[in-house]
Homo-oligomer: A and B are copies of this chain.
Amino acid sequence: MADSKPLPALNGNPVAAEALLQEVFGIVMDEAIRKGTCVSQKCHYSIKKGAAFLGLGTDSVRVVKADERGRMVPADLEQQIIMAEAEGAVPFLVSATAGTTVLGAFDPLEAIADVCQHHGLWLHVDAAWGGSVLLSQTHRHLLDGIQRADSVAWNPHKLLAAGLQCSVLLLRDTSNLLKRCHAAQATYLFQQDKFYDVALDTGDKVVQCGRHVDCLKLWLMWKAQGGQGLEQRVDRTFALARYLVEEMKKREGFELVMEPEFVNVCFWFVPPSLRGQRGSPDYQERLSKVAPVLKERMVKEGSMMIGYQPHGTRGNFFRMVVANPSLTLADMDFLLDELERLGQDL
């Protein structure tokens, strides 16, 4: 378990940062005490937005190296922290990811927690996508170390298929931190002279004022399905993804980007004209143009919606995220057949 540590200061709002940060990993530094450091590395999407909105500035975000499977490299994290401190910056938050958007990678949380503990940094785990895996006895090992986090973000609207939006921020803190940070004590909205314990009124803890009661659908779903029911949802998506991968290996038109460890199945569809051409100089360029064409065709036919994207040095590849527990093996077969049909003339 992480030692108790003083709260990092963020313009009086220590929790604001991690509440906004998602789908990223990196170190955030307090701009107010940064002295001219400027990191030019491309940073991930939401942390950049979060740092901009909070007034920290995007330069206060440092990107830590990832390995070939997209997992944070703890040794590089340690190095970045030391370098930042040497430059006079004050790192205060490390944002690790459990289930990245594209590759579905899980950062090595135990090793990252060791680094955070050593340097006294707040460990946030963005488990927006992968957090639901905790419900599976079979697969929860992917999240080993998450129990040492200071904060965890989790979206039941992703893998558990709760209706948008359903987002959870879990805190180790037991000192009513959100209230201490966010409460504005507007007497015209949050009366204290009530007949029940006003600690039950949570409205003043959050960013918004009027908002949808997003926790109710999670509660209802959990009551209706039980822990076992939700576990089955998670395990079923893993099994479907595994089936899809094995079927792809049997067909010559499909090339996996890597063997998935989660339910993100990343692959290229290699059309007939490109098969066996891997050595040719324009192969990668031509391959990267296949996914946009197939996406247009599937959307216009109305048969499927599969995302694609470039990633690092890799050209456009499809990312089939098997996140819907209502999918069947037949749907996986259809997906493969349909891609072959749509791409047979390419």
Contact = CB atoms under 8 A, between A and B. Distances in A.
Contact of A186 (B44, B187, B208, B209): B44
Contacts of A16: 52-53
B311 A188 contact: yes
A49 interface: yes
A155 to B, nearest CB: 7
Interface residues of A, number: 53
A164 B53 contact: no
Interface string A45-65: 110110011111110000000
B55 A191 contact: no
Contacts of A189: 45, 101, 309
Contacts of A195: 292, 295-296, 299-300
Contacts of A193: 292, 316
Contacts of A165: 208, 210-212
A300 to B, nearest CB: 8
Contacts of A316: 191, 193
A276 interface: no
A11 to B, nearest CB: 5
Contacts of A302: none
11 contacts: A13-B52, A45-B184, A45-B188, A45-B189, A53-B54, A53-B207, A54-B54, A164-B212, A191-B309, A195-B295, A195-B300
